Structure 1
Amino acid sequence: MQFEFNSGILKTASYPIMDKAVTEMKKDPSVKFVLNGNASAEGTDAHNMALSVERATAVKTYLVNSGISADNLVVKGYGDKKPVADNSTEAGRVRNRRVEIKKM
């Protein structure tokens, strides 16, 4: 799921992906998931950490509002510590502003 610069608001373009995730998650309600929030490298470490938690929390809210049990979701923030792309380019920074859903 992708986010705008300096924002914890889920992009509407991510809704179809989120809806697919909800469908898969509902297949086995006993499975727990971790929501890993991430940020690009702009801003301070403290700001990026808070932003990554805010992003993961936004995904959790979407999932809970779609019928996933909050008890099955753990929010974690990593700030800019786990990039998947180069933070020296805008394209890379866009890819790093994300939340990943993983089975626990």
Structure 2
Amino acid sequence: MSPKLSPALLMSVLCQLSESQPRSLDELSGRRENNLLAIRELFRQGRISGVLRDDPLGAEDAAGPLLCHAERLRLRRSYACQVEELNERVPAPEWGLIRV
């Protein structure tokens, strides 16, 4: 079963990227397959830039060729401010604590 692309997944990847610090797929938290789908969509939307590699075996889904790797990922300037603003509004998670 293939992963589903959701707004939460897109935002998760966006919040891990910045305009000034390039990152590779391997530096992102989350499932690799999910991140690749999100990166492909964010790139198509013009929100990020980077070097994307298509699957060498030609795998694709209904949206087109699947990616096998991505590097030098950066937010495009117009989206960097929006993501910074969002990160300031959302409190950091408190790891190790369980709330009931």
Normalised TM-score (structure 1): 0.32
More strand by share: 2
Normalised TM-score (structure 2): 0.33
Higher relative contact order (CA 8 A, sep 6+): 1
Which of the pair has more CA radius of gyration? 2
